[in-house]
Amino acid sequence: QVLLVQSGADIKKPGASVKVSCKASRYPLTGYFIHWVRQAPGQGLEWMGGVDPNIGVTRSAPKLQGRVTMTWDTSITTAFLDLTTLTPDDTAVYYCAGETYRENVKSFDSWGQGTLVAVS
Amino acid sequence: QTVVTQEPSLTVSPGGTVTLTCSSSTGPVTSSSFPNWFQQKPGQPPRALIYNAIDKHSWTPARFSGSLLGGKAALTLSGAQPDDEADYYCLLYHGGPRPWVFGGGTKLTVL
């Protein structure tokens, strides 16, 4: 199973940017996608987007486009989430989650421990 | 925009059986929706239980099973234990610009 380890909690002021990292170990060389998911306090899960480490494809939710960048650094096998122009509504725990995919299979199987980002 | 709907809360007795469902505003949930189910306990990240509607991970307890039922994805818990008290989320694939959408979650109480 892939191991995903995230960076620590962060506190930001409104208007600032935040960068969250997710280091992946033992991920497959094909058919793997790292998603970003956030959870506001007391709320449900929200899919934000993600990156395919092997082919470099990125996807992001329409409501976040323009404020979010998702990247992958092969040299350190780490995914990054950059979110700009923060507002208090961005206060949440941010998770990275790994999806194994192939024909007729899409399996979310690994989750990072979560990173709390507080905007205040 | 696509909305995925789950029961907000359900209660099951210890040893009992309960079924959680997951529906989509775009139409019937099928195998092409690649339903995934997760369990989340307070202060913890979600834990994957089911993928592809019916397939279990190696760590998924046998008392959990997934299915497609009447145009919805379903998660059935047979023989509920106190440790199963948690929030459960489904995730559906829709393709397009917002390919993955989570349901709002079901708070399951074992009482």
Residue A27 has pLDDT above 90, yes or no: no
CA dihedral A42, A84, A86, B1 (to 10 degrees): -50
The Cα A17–Cα B41 span in angstroms is 29
Q: What is the mean pLDDT of the segment spanning A85-94?
A: 98
User: What letter represents residue A72's amino acid?
Assistant: W
Residue B58 has pLDDT above 90, yes or no: yes
A114 and B55: CB-CB below 8 Å? no
Angle at A99 between CA A54 and CA B9, to 5 degrees: 160
Residue B1 has pLDDT above 90, yes or no: no
- Taking contacts as CB-CB distances below 8 angstroms, the residues of chain A near B55 are 107
Question: pLDDT tens, B68-111?
Answer: 999 999 999 999 999 999 999 999 999 888 899 999 999 999 99
Q: For residue A114, how many C-alpha atoms fall within 13 Å in the half-sphere facing its CB?
A: 18
Residues 93-112 of chain A whose Cβ lies under 8 A from any Cβ of chain B: 95, 97, 104-112
The nearest CA of chain A is from the CA of B7 a distance in Å of 13
Q: For residue A77, how many C-alpha atoms fall within 13 Å in the half-sphere facing its CB?
A: 13
Beta strands in A1-120 (DSSP E): 3-6, 10-12, 18-25, 32-39, 45-51, 58-60, 68-73, 78-83, 92-102, 105-111, 115-119
Residue A18 has pLDDT above 90, yes or no: yes
Residue B75 has a pLDDT of 98
Residue indicated by tokens 């929030």: B87
Q: How confident is the model at residue A30 (pLDDT cuts 50, 70, 90)?
A: confident
A106 and B93: CB-CB below 8 Å? yes
How is residue B102 written in tokens?
A: 């989570």
